[in-house]
Amino acid sequence: MEKTKPEKSLEKAAHGMADTMLAVIDKLAGKESDIKLSFEDLTLDLGMFKATLNGSIVLDIVYSKEAKT
């Protein structure tokens, strides 16, 4: 099925965000860093229902060792 123009632009934006996130994670890799996303009364309207998010997501980055030069 052919994608509409807004769908394409959304997909492009999502790819851009993912690439940036990946690049930041890559920079932090091997430094035993973490990225924490904390949500405080984040209210989203998802069309069929509304959702409020509270809490946090932690990404622990320990998947590689930094090369020694």
Partner 1 sequence: MSLADILGQMLLSGKVTVSTNNVESIEIRAANKKIDVNAVNKTIVKEALKASRTGGNQGLLKSLDAVRNNLDMLRGVAEELSDAGVTVTLSYKGDLVATLGSEAKPKLSSVVTGTKAIEINNPIKLIELGL
Residues of this chain that interact with partner 1 (CB under 8 A) are 6, 9-10, 13, 16, 19-20, 23-24, 26-28, 33-46, 50, 52-53
Minimum Å gap between C-beta 18 and partner 1 is 11
| Nearest to partner 1 of 20, 65 (CB atom) | 20
The answer to whether 35 and 24 have CB atoms below 8 angstroms apart is yes
Minimum Å gap between C-beta 34 and partner 1 is 6
CA 27 from chain centre, in angstroms, equals 15
Furthest CA-CA distance within the chain = 54
